[in-house]
Amino acid sequence: DAGVTQSPTHLIKTRGQHVTLRCSPISGHKSVSWYQQVLGQGPQFIFQYYEKEERGRGNFPDRFSARQFPNYSSELNVNALLLGDSALYLCASSRLAEETQYFGPGTRLLVL
Amino acid sequence: AQSVTQLDSQVPVFEEAPVELRCNYSSSVSVYLFWYVQYPNQGLQLLLKYLSGSTLVKGINGFEAEFNKSQTSFHLRKPSVHISDTAEYFCAVRDSGRGGYNKLIFGAGTRLAVHP
């Protein structure tokens, strides 16, 4: 079975722009979570979605938003990009919200 | 709030030597613990997890970890490392919030460097 997939793999944007990152969960998984990993640090939780509803949100500004589609794929949107948004964005899926999370390869975002 | 402390930022070791990567957590309730590995320019791969039951947990690639409730530790061990084990290792604890969500709280990571 295919694992979690994310697109694009790399992205370069300039300050003030908007970005959309995409994630497809493992088949049969209904929950998707997003994490931000800044260079040299552990991942930080951004959102969790389950059955198309937001279940939880981390300590991130309103510039960050997400949604989950009927096929359980998900998008992470970031508006008004700042230099500090440069990071690896990881998507993780789980069968249910409370179960073990499996990560995708990530999208590396560079904001110039 | 729960937290995870990885006591070593870097661990150098020679090939075929044993290794221990240390992790301490803070929690006063039931705890679910994980170790993930991140190879260069890749995402996170699950090595092993402790949810309940036996305190000695075996994972992939010959790794194992021991859950110690009294010392609030979950150290990762491997009896003989290979060059291919060179990677960043993250310890994580699951935290549950209102509304039924579950998030992982990660430590800062330990860079394992295996030398020939």
Closest alpha carbon to A49 in A77, A18, A13: A77
Q: Which chain A residues are closer than 8 Å to B99 by Cβ? A: 55-56
Distances (CA, A) of A19 to A8, A14, A22, A86, A112: 11, 10, 10, 11, 13
Q: Which chain A residues are closer than 8 Å to B100 by Cβ? A: 50, 55, 97-98
Measured distance CA(B10)–CA(A76) in Å, rounded = 32
Structure-token pair, residue B12: 């150098």
Q: pLDDT tens digits for B19-65?
A: 999 999 987 677 899 999 999 888 999 999 998 888 899 999 999 99
pLDDT, residue A77, reads 98
Measured distance CA(A108)–CA(B101) in Å, rounded = 26
Measured distance CA(B104)–CA(B90) in Å, rounded = 11
Beta carbons of A48 and B103 less than 8 Å apart: yes
Answer for the pair A93, A101: CB distance below 8 angstroms, yes or no. Answer: yes
- Which segments of chain A have a pLDDT < 70? 1
Measured distance CA(B63)–CA(B68) in Å, rounded = 17
pLDDT beyond 90 at B116: yes
Q: pLDDT tens digits for A48-73?
A: 999 899 999 999 999 999 999 999 99
Measured distance CA(A44)–CA(B90) in Å, rounded = 12
- Smallest CA–CA distance, residue B30 to chain A, in Å, is 14
pLDDT, residue B99, reads 67
